[in-house]
Amino acid sequence: MYLDQKGKEKLFKKHGKNAKDTGSAEGQIALFTERINHLTEHLKNNRKDYNTERSLVKLVGKRRSLLDYLTKKDILRYRAIVKELNLRK
């Protein structure tokens, strides 16, 4: 797999409250962003891989729904995570 356990812990530690905080919206958004970037690189080399393309579209939708949730819940946390991950709407 592209991201091992230590990589995930480091990701959650950076964007969540701690390394074991896998349920926070910021941690999930960061993980989805990492997976989206990985799949995008894969699709640049394998443009006819339609299953991966479908997975990528589903992941983008999940991330979008989490970002929408965070917008409604706490706009400051939303702005912080968007700035950290260089996301745009």
For 66-82, how does the pLDDT look when each residue is reduced to its tens digit (9 = 90+)? 999 999 999 999 999 99
Residue 43's domain comprises 25-85
5 falls within a domain: no
70 falls within a domain: yes
CA torsion sign, 72 to 89 to 52 to 19?
Answer: negative
For 39-48, how does the pLDDT look when each residue is reduced to its tens digit (9 = 90+)? 999 999 999 9
Long-range contacts, stretch 26-31, CB < 8 angstroms, 24+ apart: 26/70, 26/77, 26/80, 26/81, 28/66, 29/63, 29/66, 29/67, 29/70, 29/81, 29/85, 30/81, 30/84, 30/85
**Residue 3: predicted pLDDT:** 84
54 falls within a domain: yes
62 falls within a domain: yes
Average pLDDT, the chain: 92
1 falls within a domain: no
CA torsion sign, 70 to 60 to 62 to 16?
Answer: negative
The whole-model pTM stands at 0.91
47 falls within a domain: yes
Q: What is the mean pLDDT of residues 28-32?
A: 95
For residue 74, give the CATH number of its domain: 1.10.287.10
